[in-house]
Amino acid sequence: MLDKDTVIKHIKEAFGQTEYPGDHFLQGSFEGSEPYEEIEPFKGRTDWQRIDPELLDTHSSALNFFSEGALRFFLPAYLIADVQAQLQTADPLFVLVHGFSDVSIEHQIGSRVFVRKTGQTAFINPRRYGGMTFYDYARYRLSVFTREEAQAIVTYLNHKREADPHKLHDQAIEAAFNLFWLDRAAHAPTAASLKQHVREEEEYIAAIIASSGDHSP
């Protein structure tokens, strides 16, 4: 079993160079006032390692309302606080495994039994998102993580599985591993490839600007 210090070290190394998205790019949902209220306290916090776990717990719903870039930047703060047992409400594990396995309950109303399902094969909202399932959405949202970050997340998930004496999340974690995280940790773009891409884009734009200047009267 990996000790806490090893898990935390891996997370810090993997996310140590992850860039802050900017104050205007933290909020991913704009429906109602709750997303704004949850995300606002994170503005200006450009060093996730200095965020008090109490703030993370107070704004546990932020994990659902972050933009993809903000989720990538702030998730390690939640992971480390969770490993250190400093969270009472926030549940980063749920964010990382929801959508990769089905969960259903039966609800009897009168003489009829309704099966209510969420997870992998459940539709999000067909009127708005058509055939998109929670599995589709999970893969899209979690694809923000680089190979190194995904490897640290795998380490965290293994720690959570091994540290749970009741094995409550074994099935969910195993499904998430098999359907997404193990492949992501092996084949996702590396941090270096992202930096190379950004550098090439900047050079391309600079070349266009310089070229435009050369043709000015």
In tens, the pLDDT along 117-162 reads: 889 999 999 999 999 999 999 999 999 999 999 999 999 999 999 9
Torsion of CA 159, 15, 182, 26, to 10 degrees: 110
Q: State residue 38's pLDDT score.
A: 96
Identify the bridge partners of residue 113 per DSSP, sorted by sequence position. Answer: 108
Is residue 216 predicted with pLDDT exceeding 70? Answer: no
Q: State residue 213's pLDDT score.
A: 72
Q: Mean pLDDT throughout 71-91? A: 97
Is residue 167 predicted with pLDDT exceeding 70? Answer: yes
Averaged pLDDT of the chain: 94
Q: State residue 132's pLDDT score.
A: 96
Is residue 177 predicted with pLDDT exceeding 80? Answer: yes
Q: State residue 39's pLDDT score.
A: 97
Is residue 217 predicted with pLDDT exceeding 60? Answer: no
Q: How far is CA 182 from CA 31, 69, 119, 136, 145, in A?
A: 33, 21, 19, 17, 13
Residue 1 pLDDT grade (very low, low, confident, very high; cuts 50, 70, 90) = confident
| Structure tokens that stand for 161 in this block | 């599985």
Other CB atoms within 10 Å distance of the CB of residue 117: 14
Residue 188 pLDDT grade (very low, low, confident, very high; cuts 50, 70, 90) = very high
The residues, any chain, with a CB within 8 Å of residue 78's CB and separated by 6 or more, are 56, 63, 87, 90, 92
Residue 212 pLDDT grade (very low, low, confident, very high; cuts 50, 70, 90) = confident
Q: Are 170 and 100 in contact (CB under 8 A)?
A: no
Q: State residue 165's pLDDT score.
A: 87
